[in-house]
Chain A
C-alpha cells in the first residue's frame, strides 16, 4: 500500500518536472487589455505591468532556475562527496578541528555571503558593455554557490564516513587485508549512497531558497540589468524566477499575483523535491526520511516496535 502510494507520488512529481521543463517554448503573449491584469481565463496567472503573461514567463524561466539549481546541487555533491570520504578515511584525527572551524559558517547568513561575493559580477548597467558574458556570469554564479557549502557538506560527509569506519564489518574487511580505497569503494560508498541522494535533495532545496533570496536583492541568476534612468525595476536577463520576484516585489499591495506567481513556483518545486526524496527513501529503505530520522532499526524491528506501542496504549487505557 505504502509502495503504491509512494510510486504514485513519485511519478506525479516527475511528470510535473518534465512538464515544467518542456513547455518553455511558448511565446510571450502581449495583451491589449490594460495591464496588469488580474488572473482570469485568458491569462491564468494574470499579467505583469507590461502585459506579459505571467504563466509563460514563469514557464520560460523554469529551465534556467531548475537546471541552474540542479547543476549547483549536483556540483556540490560531486565536490564534497570525494572530499568528505577522503577526510573521514585518511584524516580522522584532524576532523575534529576542521569541524569546529566549519562550525563558524553557521553563524553567518548564507544569502548575504553569496550576495557579497556575486555582486561585482552580476550587476550590469544598461547600455554599458558587460565585463563578463552571459555564460561566464552563469558559470561564476554556479561556481560561487557551489563552493559556499562545500566545507560544511564535506565535513558532514566526513563525519559519517568516520562513524562508518567504526562498524564491525569495516574492521573485519581491514583484517582481511582490504586497503582503505577498497573499503571506501566496497563498503562505505554503498552504505552512504541513499544518504547522498537525500543530501542532494536538501542541497537542491537550499539552492532554490538562496536564489530566491538573491532575487529580492535584485541579484538574478545570469545577471541583472539596471536601467540607466530610475523608475523601472531592474530587469532580469534570463526571465528566471528569482528575477521575476525581485523585479515585482513592489507590486505586492495592488497586484499580488505578480510576485506571488514565481514564489509559488519555488514552493511547488521545493515541495516536489521533498516528495521525491521522501518517495525515494521509502522505496529503497522502507524508511521515511522526513518523518523519522535515520535510525539503525530494521524494518521488522520497526514493526515490532509499532505493535509494542499499540499495546502500551491499550495498557494505559485500561489503567485509567
Chain B
C-alpha cells in the first residue's frame, strides 16, 4: 500500500512537471513580442491548466476547419501504443530466442558475433528504417511482390514494418545484454550441479538460466522504452503514420502539446509499473527491481 502511494505521488509530480514544461517555451518567445517573460509564462500556465480541465474544448485547425483534439488523439494514441507494446514484446522474445541459439555455438564464434553486435548497435535508427523501406520498395519494383505496407495511406494502416523497425535496435541491445547475463550465469555453481546430474545443455538454458536472468533483463525495460519512444517519433514521421507523435509534433501550441504529452505519458507509465508489479509478485527476487 505504501508503495502504491509512492507511485501515485511520483505520478502526480510527473504530471505537474509536464504541465510546467509545456509552458516553458513561452518564457523565451516573449522576447519578440515585447511582453514580460514571467507574466507570459504564468498566462500560458493558467491557460494550459484551464484547457486540461475542459479538455473537450481543445481544438486544432486544419485549413480553417476546427477539429476536436481528443477524438483524434484516442485513435492515434491507440495506434502508437499498439506499435510500441508489440515491438517491446517482439524485441524481448527475439532477443531471448537468439541468445538460446548463440549459446549452442562454440566460443570463438560467439566472440565474432559480439563484434558484429557492436557494429549493428551503432547504426542510427534513421538509417535502419530508411534502408528497410528502400529494400522493400526495390524488392517490389523487381518482383512485383509487396512484402509489407511501406507507408500508411488513408485507412490502410501499416503495422508490420513499423513494428519491425521499432523492434530492431532494441532487440540488438537486449540481445547483447542477455548474452552477457547468460554467460555470467553459466559459470555459477548450480549450473555445474545440474550438469553433473546429466541434464542436457538446452534444458539447463531453458529451465534454470532463463528463470534466473529474466529479472535482470527486465532491469532494462525502462531504457528500452525510452529508446523506443525516440525511435517511434522517427518511425511515425517516415511511415506517415497518424500516431500520437504526429499530433505531438505538428501542433506545437502549448495547450495541445501538454495534453498530448500527458496522453503519451500516462499509458506508458501505467504499463511500466504494471509489468514491474507483476514481476515483483511472481518472480522470486523481483523485489530488487527498481
Contact = CB atoms under 8 A, between A and B. Distances in A.
Contact of B13 (A104, A274, A315, A319): A104
B241 to A, nearest CB: 14
Given A110-B230, A120-B28, A104 B118 contact: no
A253 interface: yes
Contact of A115 (B122, B134, B201, B249): B249
Nearest to A268: B122
Contacts of B233: 109, 111-112, 213
If over half of A's interface residues share one DSSP class (helix, strand or loop), that class is named, otherwise mixed; here it is: helix
Q: By CB atoms of chain B within 10 A, which of A107, A212, A267 has the most?
A: A107
B126 A245 contact: yes
Contacts of A278: 118
If over half of B's interface residues share one DSSP class (helix, strand or loop), that class is named, otherwise mixed; here it is: helix
A21 B186 CA distance: 46
B198 to A, nearest CB: 6
B249 A217 contact: yes
Interface in B239-265: 245, 248-249, 252, 257, 261, 264-265
A116 B257 contact: yes
Contact of B25 (A105, A120, A308, A316): A120
Interface string A88-113: 00000000000011011111111111
B10 A101 contact: yes
Interface string B107-125: 1000000100011011111
A227 B186 CA distance: 61
A107 B272 contact: yes
A107 B269 contact: yes
Contacts of B237: 216-217
Contacts of B223: 106
B226 interface: yes
Given A107-B225, A216-B238, A252-B134, A263 B126 contact: yes
A12 interface: no
A260 B14 CA distance: 38
Nearest to A266: B124
Contact of B134 (A210, A256, A292, A293): A256
Given A259-B130, A274-B118, A316-B195, A116 B25 contact: yes
Nearest to B222: A106
B230 A209 contact: yes
Contact of B126 (A116, A213, A308, A309): A213
Given A119-B25, A274-B118, A108 B10 contact: no
Interface string A255-294: 0100110011011001101110010000000000011110
Given A103-B10, A216-B126, A312 B238 contact: no
B105 to A, nearest CB: 12
A155 interface: no
A291 B115 CA distance: 8
Given A107-B269, A209-B230, A120 B180 contact: no
Contacts of A19: none
A312 B18 CA distance: 53
A2 B31 CA distance: 57
30 contacts: A106-B223, A107-B272, A108-B261, A108-B265, A109-B226, A109-B245, A110-B229, A112-B233, A119-B252, A120-B25, A120-B29, A205-B122, A210-B230, A213-B126, A213-B233, A217-B249, A245-B126, A249-B130, A259-B130, A266-B124, A270-B122, A274-B118, A278-B118, A290-B118, A290-B121, A293-B180, A308-B187, A309-B187, A316-B195, A319-B198
Given A104-B265, A107-B264, A119-B25, 20 more contacts: A104-B17, A106-B223, A106-B226, A108-B261, A109-B230, A112-B249, A115-B252, A120-B28, A205-B122, A213-B230, A249-B238, A260-B130, A263-B127, A270-B123, A274-B121, A290-B121, A295-B184, A312-B191, A312-B195, A319-B198
Interface of B: 6, 10, 13-14, 17-18, 21, 24-25, 28-29, 31-32, 107, 114, 118-119, 121-127, 130-131, 133-134, 137, 176-177, 180, 184, 186-187, 191-192, 195, 198, 200-201, 222-223, 225-226, 229-230, 232-234, 237-238, 245, 248-249, 252, 257, 261, 264-265, 268-269, 272
